[in-house]
Amino acid sequence: MLTHENIWAAIDRLASAFGYSASGLAKQAGLDPTSFNKSKRFNAEGKPRWPSTESIAYILGATGATMSDFFALMDADNDLSPSSAKQGFIPMIGFAQAGAHGFFDEDGYPAGAAWDEIKFPEHETADAAGTYALEISGDSMEPLFRSGDVLVVSRDAAIRRGDRVVVRTNKGEVMVKELVKKSASKIELKSLNPAHADRSIAANDISWMARVLWVSQ
């Protein structure tokens, strides 16, 4: 059935099948990277916005998927595993780059073309759009994480007290801490390095938070 929800879900599933976020797929197809952001799916009055047939044609051309594939992806029980999808790879950037503009979309997913890729077999069971890697530089996270370590994080994984998380503020500051407490008004974070102070940050000052799933040391 052609519904607003099903069509956007099909775009998300198509992006995931080929190892992209929704914004990454838009960029790959030559569209504005924000074309498929969640904030663009409704207007200011809350009325649904539909993707154009032209934009759908572009993303099908960029992936090699067919319209039949796209229609099938409207069904939550269907999946698309084309041979050209980049199975087992996730995007990676240096930790310092995570605070710069252009590497993430407004929802905290990888965006832009400046990402490298690393092999991550465990990724076959992870969400392709929300999983990526950050390479540590400097000593601010010692002794737990050292320069050169690679953190694999997920924007979509559930976060609980005690988890190690990557937090990005609205001002572009990025940090890796342990989540002590999260409320509607603020989050409290414990530093991994005793030489650095713990942090308490207002919730409306946080751009996004992602859970650390795995570390390569």
| Count of domains observed in the chain | 2
Same domain, 57 and 133: no
Which of the four pLDDT bands, split at 50, 70 and 90, describes residue 217? low
Task: Dump pLDDT digits (tens) for 10-19.
Answer: 998 888 877 7
Q: Same domain, yes or no, for 105 and 206?
A: yes
Say if 54 falls within a structural domain. yes
- Say if residue 57 is in the same domain as residue 114: no
Kindly report the CATH number assigned to the domain that includes residue 157: 2.10.109.10
What does the alpha-carbon distance between residue 68 and residue 56 come to, in Å, rounded to a whole number? 12
Q: Could you tell me if 199 and 142 lie in one domain?
A: yes
Question: Has residue 214 got a pLDDT over 90?
Answer: no
Residues 97 and 61 in one domain: no
For position 55, which CATH number holds? 1.10.260.40
Predicted local confidence at residue 83, as pLDDT: 40
Does residue 85 register a pLDDT over 50? no
Q: Are 96 and 64 found together in one domain?
A: no
> In this structure, which long-range contacts are made by residues 33-40, counting pairs with CB atoms below 8 Å and at least 24 apart in sequence?
33/105, 33/111, 33/112, 34/105, 34/106, 36/8, 36/11, 36/12, 37/105, 37/106, 37/107, 38/107, 39/106, 39/107
- Is there a domain that residue 144 lies in? yes
State the residue range of the domain holding 29.
4-72
pTM: 0.59
Q: DSSP states of 95-115 as a string?
A: GGGGGSTTSB-TTS-B-SS--
Residue 82 pLDDT > 70: no
120 and 192 fall within a common domain: yes
Tens digits of per-residue pLDDT, 160-204?
999 999 999 998 888 999 999 999 999 999 998 888 899 999 999
Which one of 12, 45, 72 terminates a domain?
72
Which residues, at least 6 apart from 101, have a Cβ–Cβ distance to it below 8 Å?
Answer: 172
82 domain-assigned = no
Q: 52 and 131: one domain?
A: no
For residues 112 and 61, membership in a common domain is answered with no
Angle at 192 between CA 90 and CA 21, to 5 degrees: 20
Q: Return the pLDDT at 47.
A: 92
| Paired tokens of 177 | 């801490």
Are 102 and 23 part of one and the same domain? no
